């Protein structure tokens, strides 16, 4: 990312790029003072003692609602995955998780779906930017832990997969 001219704040795309870089970096906090902009970002929950109060979250908190009957997808009863090593597929960032590419489309995966490492298990949307969530491993989906349209946290488990040859 090239810095904006000294008399101009960064564009939204540059800010989004900065947020994405922070999310994938080892740093927990970044603070910038630019002309016309003071920006403080943190991936750590809460604030340190003596700091100003934490800003309101970018995504409004929503009370948990019970999933609709057709959306509820716990691990299958009597599943042979008990004790097996499962792979957790986690949210790459905070945002809204969608199990479908569009409201009228079928879900990316269901319990029992065979996946490859590149198979999308869903997407996370933040500020109208869609981020695909790849399975990351070949295997079979055994549990779907996030509901369609649910606000998810960074690294929240979305889907659990039994790796190929693991069962």
d(CA 113, CA 134): 14
**Secondary structure of 94-117 in the HEC alphabet?**
CEEEECCCCCCCCCCCCCCCEECC
Low-confidence ranges of the chain (pLDDT < 50): 47-67, 69-83, 167
What CATH number has the domain spanning 87-163? 2.40.50.100
Tell which residue, 157, 146, 150, 154, has the closest CA to residue 87: 157
Give tens-digit pLDDT for 80-122: 444 458 999 999 999 999 999 999 999 999 999 999 999 999 9
Q: Looking at residue 147, what is its pLDDT?
A: 94
Query: For the chain, what's the residue count?
Result: 167
SS3 call for 23: helix
Indicate the pTM of the whole model: 0.51
Domain layout of the chain by residue ranges:
1-45, 87-163
Q: Which residues, 6 or more positions from 21, have their beta carbon under 8 angstroms from its beta carbon? A: 1
Q: Are 76 and 111 in contact (CB under 8 A)?
A: yes
Query: What is the number of H-type helices and E-type strands within the chain?
Result: 1, 10
User: CA 51, 53, 54, 58 torsion: positive or negative?
Assistant: negative
């Amino acid at each position: 990312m090239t810095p904006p001219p000294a008399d101009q704040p960064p564009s939204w795309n540059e800010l989004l790029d900065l947020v994405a870089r922070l999310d994938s970096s080892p740093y927990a906090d970044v603070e910038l003072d630019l002309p016309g902009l003071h920006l403080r970002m943190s991936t750590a929950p809460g604030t340190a003692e003596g700091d100003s109060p934490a800003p309101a979250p970018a995504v409004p908190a929503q009370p948990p609602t019970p999933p609709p009957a057709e959306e509820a997808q716990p691990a299958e009863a009597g599943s042979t995955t008990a004790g097996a090593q499962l792979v957790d597929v986690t949210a790459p960032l905070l945002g809204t998780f969608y199990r479908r590419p569009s409201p009228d489309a079928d879900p990316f995966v269901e319990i029992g779906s065979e996946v490859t490492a590149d198979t999308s298990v869903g997407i996370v949307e933040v500020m109208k930017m869609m981020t695909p969530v790849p399975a990351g491993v070949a295997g079979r989906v055994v549990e779907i832990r996030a509901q369609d349209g649910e606000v998810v946290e960074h690294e929240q488990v979305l889907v659990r997969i039994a790796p190929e040859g693991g069962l």
